[in-house]
Amino acid sequence: MKSPSTRPGTPSLFAICLAFAAVYLIWGSTYLAIRIGVKTLPPFLLGGSRFSFAGPVLMLVAALFGASWPTFKQWRAAAITGGLMLVGGNGLVVLAERDVPSSITALIIATTPVWFALGDWIRPGGQRPSRRAWMGIMLGIIGVAYLSFSRTGDASSLVVPIGGLALLVTATISWAAGSLLVKHLEKPSSPWMMSGAQMSCGGVILLVLAALHGEFNHWRPDSVARDGWISLGYLVVFGSWIGFSAYVWLLKVSTPSRVSTYAYVNPVVAVFLGWFLLGEELSGHAIVAASVLLTGVAIVVWPSRSIASRSLSKSA
């Protein structure tokens, strides 16, 4: 019998775990970086600068390692998915974080797996979520909701401006739609070339929106605080080059429901960073919430016995 890990083209368990760790941990920190960045950088300009720089550099590196440049159809797919994920998804999050705290933003973004499950269900030939998947999703949402109360102990902490709430809900739907389309549209064989093309397209669109929004009219580089530049650099290197590339690669080798579990873990990371970097108290409520969150993740991510049995039978 041949082990699945030895088959050509099958990613190793270590690579998959490393990619999940990047998406879980790095993206959990980007909410804080965005919150700091938008204090002195206009929102669309922040996102546009980030992606319009990160995308072409990533494409160039991928090409130097032998990846083929995208075809016209692949560029079109990158424009569609990059627009949905990086403009509709990330761009609206940056816009919302001018008024919405990063912790509450992470809470609302944690509903993304619901849109993943519904989107994968309603698409042609889609699959209805299992009871087990729904149980994991509900546990994750309960854990994130409980986590939000643990920050202040007051239910009023969940109150957000209606405009910010609408932006974030729209962002989650847009991100899920783009992520699901990635699996079904024609794309380069290199996930890094695909990531770079998506970021390039998304960055250009965000810069156009920045111009239409008048963000270039009153902005000057010397008005940006040092923390703002550091946040932008962090978002480019860690959030885009490492985190987003890992995310796109996982969409290729894993299932949308499993990849979407990052939305459960990111708020836990945000709370930990608040405690570690800003001296916020890590309460017992936060520990309980984290336990519930990770239980939900385990239920969704861990393969069922029937799936594991089928995988083993195919490897024989």
**Residue-wise DSSP of 58-121:** HHHHHHHTTPPPP-HHHHHHHHHHHIIIIIIIIIHHHHHTTTS-HHHHHHHHTTHHHHHHHHHH
Three-class secondary structure of residue 184 per DSSP: coil
> Does residue 5 fall inside a structural domain?
no
pLDDT band at 276 (very low <50, low <70, confident <90, very high): confident
Mean per-residue pLDDT, 57-80? 93
Rounded (to 5) percent helix, strand, coil in the chain? 75, 0, 25
Share of the chain above pLDDT 70, in %: 79
Q: 157 pLDDT exceeds 80? A: no
Residue 123 burial (CB count, 10 A)? 14
Say what the pLDDT of residue 190 is: 87
Say what the pLDDT of residue 81 is: 93
Span of 67-81, 86-100, 200-214 with lowest mean pLDDT: 86-100
| Dihedral sign, Cα of residue 288, residue 294, residue 297, residue 299 | negative
12: enclosing H helix or E strand: none
Say what the pLDDT of residue 53 is: 94
Say what the pLDDT of residue 314 is: 34
> Does residue 4 fall inside a structural domain?
no
Residues 6 or more apart in contact with residue 103 via CB below 8 angstroms:
31, 148, 151, 267, 270, 271, 274
Three-class secondary structure of residue 11 per DSSP: coil
Residue 275 burial (CB count, 10 A)? 14
Full residue range of the structural domain in which residue 302 is found:
11-315
CA 86-92-120 angle, to 5 degrees, is 60
pLDDT band at 274 (very low <50, low <70, confident <90, very high): low
Cβ-contact 241, 59 below 8 angstroms = no
Mean per-residue pLDDT, 55-66? 93
Mean per-residue pLDDT, 150-176? 69
Structure tokens at 106: 């992470």
* Closest C-alpha among 5, 84, 109, 50 to residue 243: 50
> Does residue 62 fall inside a structural domain?
yes
> Does residue 82 fall inside a structural domain?
yes
> Does residue 149 fall inside a structural domain?
yes
> For helices 262-278 and 27-37, what crossing angle results, to 10°?
60
Structure tokens at 75: 């560029």
Please tell me the distance from the alpha carbon of residue 274 to that of residue 306, in angstroms, as a whole number: 41
Backbone dihedral region for residue 125 (phi beyond 0: left; psi -120 to 50: alpha; all else: beta): left
> Does residue 3 fall inside a structural domain?
no
For residues 241 and 114, the model is more confident at: 241
Residue 301 burial (CB count, 10 A)? 16
The number of domains in the chain is 1
> Does residue 298 fall inside a structural domain?
yes
Q: 257 pLDDT exceeds 90? A: no
Mean per-residue pLDDT, 120-149? 73
Q: 132 pLDDT exceeds 90? A: no
Q: What mean pLDDT is reported for the chain?
A: 79
Q: 169 pLDDT exceeds 70? A: yes
Say what the pLDDT of residue 238 is: 92
For residues 110 and 59, the model is more confident at: 59
Q: What size, in residues, is the chain?
A: 316
> Does residue 269 fall inside a structural domain?
yes
Mean per-residue pLDDT, 80-84? 93
Mean per-residue pLDDT, 213-224? 84
